[in-house]
Structure 1
């Protein structure tokens, strides 16, 4: 199944946290594929944190690789 077909269903699912639904909605509105993938990854991270899903389950649900669900690394200032 194409995971993009799951995104509209997740937008109306009450069990999905509101912040994750907003991130998924934003992923449908942006034209840049990289930003859309980042928004879906953010939603996946929220699902892992709030619903105790594994990264593999959340990644499959929102359509990103489980490795993309790791928080972005920001270099520390010297």
Structure 2
């Protein structure tokens, strides 16, 4: 394989990867209720204490914070199991 073929193969792979990533992001797969309805994802993950049902948020750089509603009460998961 010469250099031109290698560059072409890399470009084709990059285009295919970009298309798959775009479809994944547009489809909403992996979204949770911490993400806005449109636009980019929040980067946060929702964790649930399965004993109490209380939900927590973690960010990409670490840390854990309890989710609260507008009145400061903990947000509970719909199902506790």
Q: TM-score range by the shorter chain?
A: under 0.3
Structure showing greater relative contact order (alpha-carbon pairs closer than 8 Å, 6 or more residues apart)? 1
Structure with higher Rg: it is: 2
Q: TM-score, normalised by structure 1?
A: 0.23
Between Structure 1 and Structure 2, which shows a larger proportion of helix residues?
A: 1
Structure whose residues are more often strand by fraction: 2
